[in-house]
Chain A
Amino acid sequence: MGKNTFGACDTSYSISIGPVHPALKEPVKLNMSIEGEKVTGVDFELSQVHRGIEWIGTRRNPIQILFLAERICGICNICHSLAFSKAVESIAQIEVPERAGYIRTIMAELERIHSHVLWAGVAAHELGFDSVLHYTWKLRENVLDTIEYLTGNRITKAIITIGGVRRDITKKQFPAVKKTVDYYVKSFDKLGKIFLKDPVIKSRTRDVGILTKKEALATCAVGPTARASGVKKDVRIDESYAAYPDLDIEIMTPDIITGEIRGDVYDRVIARLLEVKQSAEIIDKCLKQMPEGKITYEEKIPKVLAGLRDVKGEGIGRLEAPRGEVFHYVKMVDEDSPYSWKVRAPTYNNIMAWIPMLMGEQIADIPIIAASIDPCMSCTNRAVVSGKSNSILTQDMLHRLSVEKTKEIRRLLKND
């Protein structure tokens, strides 16, 4: 124990949570400096589960990548295949039929319900409230059954294809979907009662892990994490895609229920619960408004691939996944497989928000705060750090490097 300037003993010590820890569903390492029970320093190490999906992707054709993209995340998988196909569609300038847009929307919203309800269970488990974990996961079975009914799979739906969807939702299937919608609108009240009224849950989440609006903006938080801090940001509204332009959707911020925004864990719970209800309502609207028509611009996959072989260019696909904004960048150069494919999952943005949230909190609150951004490590890990390189790139260095790169590109362009 070292002595500090006042002569008293330095009582701080460090705890690392992870890479493997019961509170974490996926590997990440949190290095915490602790004083008593209080957190005085936060640092984290990512890149514990690099899987090289992008590398594999650049050796497959776009249709194959769709199914690979679904494997990026075990929970929000449709957003990855959808973002990828949006990127490819924007390169090849493919017009997606309107009905396909509606089916995509329904699928994305079913996934949002599934993801948020699953998260609610995980959050309850972090608080040691296993009854609620089992209850919410029982609620989640309903949407999984519906997804299976519509697509044939419970989790990885394999329904998106370039330029549309692979399966139609027929009139005969509407009642089953409608039943699910009603089920979740109803269960919203019950979930709200459990999560928002229970005194123990409230005492564990209220004013815990506060992320102010300013901090949310500074750390580039996205999705429910940002919205719970009062940042009105939702890709479904900011960049309309699929059927969202036809639907009036509001940005769900916690003040809808409580009348104020504190940006704590409690607010993040509210934001997600509100979105479950909103998603159910969106699906309901989609069922009512869904137009007739084709579900894909071209049914024959070899023809789609042949068309994609000749395109050249870069495209991006961004959309609102359950956890926030998903961003895919694709570059195609007259080849079977894309020249480059870059994925940015929402957790990549949200993870920096951990630092302001965790500072000054108790050890007991680390799991629930860490879980409150709904982290998804496997989706986030796009690089691996090998060896023991301790070099840290500062902002100045990164700036210098990008200036150099720009100069180099300019030079190349001139030579062309």
Chain B
Amino acid sequence: MIDLLLWNLMLIPGFAAVGIILGLFYKGIDRRLAARMQARVGPPLRQPFIDVKKLLMKENIVPKNAVAWIFNLMPVVALASSLLLLLYVPLFGISLLGGYGDLIVILYLLIFPSLALVIGGFASSSPYATVGAQREMIAMLSYEFPLAIAIISIAWLMSMSGGMEAAFDIGAVSWANVWTLVGPVGASGLFLLFIVLIFVTTGELGIIPVDAAEAETEIAGGLLVEYSGRNLALFYLASAVKMVVMGSLVIALFLPFDLSAFVLTSGYPVFWMAANGLFFLFKLFVVVFLSSTFIRVALARFRITQVVKVYWGYTTLIALLGLLLVSADVLLRMV
């Protein structure tokens, strides 16, 4: 066990690099696609890499009134916690620390990058950042609720069909494929939960329509208004990694399909591993497209009060309906 952990620890830098590169690459795709959907040409796919390089070369300004050590620490915390999350969720079907934590740990860790943003925002002592930080806290409270309902529904479903140990184990959930555990009624419930999780991803990533915390035309970037140079680059990387994390989480819970059934016959394991890797990238693209590109092109920004209303009202209702359908399905079949 210890040997395996050590072996995994050695793989961590590689995983981090893959997570960051994937995240930036998907950000590039997102920007390009959004541009095309808005009748623009858009930046090249490698634009996020160029942005990060530029930011790393720029001066790192700390405001005079800021609490410097917190202000400088928070970007590191954000990136570190995002990378830590990356080790818990199955990336290409592999989660390095999957055996050491479960969905509850992921739920906790998901708060960290946002919390780092909030603390960094307060520490920068700008009124815009303060407003942004307040809004981010409200937004966090709002989307946590439907997120919790979605995760608990899955866990309950697992516990009903696979026993208590597997209930919160993300690897087991992914392996079991939740769609096979339910009938048509439950599947429609799961579909609702899938939509809820996609929209929660939008909130987690702070994308229009729920980017009230950054709202460039209102509070000039909000939380990030005072950040520049290296610190801003770290936050940018953190958000890129978080995009991969949320994508992988959605994939593990709701899109655990792979191509093994089709390519196993070819015989060479390299082939089906490559095919499954590409298929994972495609699934990640679908999640990023739905939760980020499509929604931010299709909607205008909500006010923070509307964010609360949308998450606590409509999204929670949809999530509860999904939970109800899933539980009805399971209970009816038990009878």
For the complex, give the distance between the alpha carbons of A34 and B131 in Å.
10
Contacts of A13 in B (CB 8 A): 127, 130
For the complex, give the distance between the alpha carbons of A125 and B300 in Å.
9
Pick the residue among B128, B130, B299 that contacts A129 (CB under 8 A): B299
A128 close to B301 (CB less than 8 A) = yes
Contacts of B38 in A (CB 8 A): 130-131, 134-135
B146 contacts A by Cβ under 8 Å? no
Chain B contacts to A: CB under 8 angstroms = 37-40, 127-128, 130-131, 208-209, 211-212, 215-221, 297-306
Given contacts A131-B37, A134-B39, A134-B40, contact A124 B304 (CB under 8 A): no
Contacts of B302 in A (CB 8 A): 200, 204
For the complex, give the distance between the alpha carbons of A179 and B221 in Å.
42
B128 close to A22 (CB less than 8 A) = no
Nearest CB of chain B from residue A28's CB, rounded to whole Å: 15
Which residue of the partner chain A has the closest CB to B212?
A364
Most buried by A among B300, B303, B304: B300
Nearest CB of chain B from residue A81's CB, rounded to whole Å: 32
Contacts of B305 in A (CB 8 A): 37, 362
A68 contacts B by Cβ under 8 Å? no
List CB contacts (< 8 Å) of A252-299 with chain B.
Answer: none
Nearest CB of chain B from residue A117's CB, rounded to whole Å: 15
A94 contacts B by Cβ under 8 Å? no
Q: CB-CB contacts of A131-150 with B at 8 A, as 1s and 0s? A: 11011001000000000000
A210 contacts B by Cβ under 8 Å? no
Contacts of B306 in A (CB 8 A): 203
8 closest Cβ pairs, A-B complex: A128-B301, A129-B300, A134-B38, A364-B303, A127-B300, A23-B217, A200-B300, A367-B217
B220 close to A21 (CB less than 8 A) = yes
Given contacts A13-B127, A15-B127, contact A362 B303 (CB under 8 A): yes
Nearest CB of chain B from residue A391's CB, rounded to whole Å: 28
Contacts of A138 in B (CB 8 A): 39
A131 close to B220 (CB less than 8 A) = no
For the complex, give the distance between the alpha carbons of A201 and B209 in Å.
11
How many residues of A sit at the interface, in one of the four size bands?
20 to 34
Nearest CB of chain A from residue B133's CB, rounded to whole Å: 13
A402 contacts B by Cβ under 8 Å? no
Contacts of A203 in B (CB 8 A): 306
A364 close to B300 (CB less than 8 A) = no
For the complex, give the distance between the alpha carbons of A397 and B235 in Å.
55
Given contacts A37-B305, A126-B217, 14 further A-B contacts (CB under 8 A): A13-B130, A37-B131, A128-B208, A128-B300, A129-B299, A129-B300, A131-B38, A132-B300, A135-B38, A200-B300, A362-B304, A363-B131, A364-B303, A367-B217
What are 30 residue pairs bridging A and B, where the CB atoms are less than 8 Å apart in the complex?
Answer: A13-B127, A13-B130, A22-B220, A23-B220, A37-B305, A126-B217, A127-B301, A128-B209, A128-B215, A128-B216, A128-B217, A128-B300, A131-B37, A131-B297, A132-B300, A135-B39, A138-B39, A200-B209, A200-B299, A200-B300, A201-B300, A362-B303, A362-B305, A363-B131, A363-B219, A364-B218, A364-B301, A364-B303, A364-B304, A366-B218
Which residue of the partner chain B has the closest CB to A14?
B127
A37 close to B39 (CB less than 8 A) = no
A198 contacts B by Cβ under 8 Å? yes
List CB contacts (< 8 Å) of A27-56 with chain B.
Answer: 34, 37
A320 contacts B by Cβ under 8 Å? no
Nearest CB of chain A from residue B218's CB, rounded to whole Å: 5
Most buried by A among B218, B297, B302, B305: B218
Pick the residue among B208, B215, B303, B304 that contacts A204 (CB under 8 A): B303
Contacts of B300 in A (CB 8 A): 124, 127-129, 132, 198, 200-201, 204
Most buried by B among A127, A135, A201, A362: A127
Contacts of A127 in B (CB 8 A): 217, 300-301
A365 contacts B by Cβ under 8 Å? yes
Given contacts A22-B220, A127-B300, A364-B304, contact A15 B131 (CB under 8 A): yes
Contacts of B303 in A (CB 8 A): 204, 362, 364-365
Nearest CB of chain B from residue A404's CB, rounded to whole Å: 44
For the complex, give the distance between the alpha carbons of A34 and B301 in Å.
21
